[in-house]
Structure 1
Amino acid sequence: MPKAKVTKDAARPVSSTTTSASRTPVKINTGGTPAWYKAIMFGLMILGLAWLIVFYVAGDQIPLLSELGPWNYAIGFAGLIAGLLMTMGWR
Structure 2
Amino acid sequence: MNYNDFYLEGVNWIGEVTKEGVSATKGRGELFSGLFIRPELPENNQPSDPELHGLTPEQLKGAIRVSLENGATGVCLFTPGRMTDEHWKALASEVFSK
With structure 1 as the length reference, what TM-score do the two structures score? Answer: 0.29
- State which structure, 1 or 2, has the greater radius of gyration over its C-alpha atoms: 1
**Structure whose residues are more often helix by fraction:** 1
**Structure whose residues are more often strand by fraction:** 2
With structure 2 as the length reference, what TM-score do the two structures score? Answer: 0.27
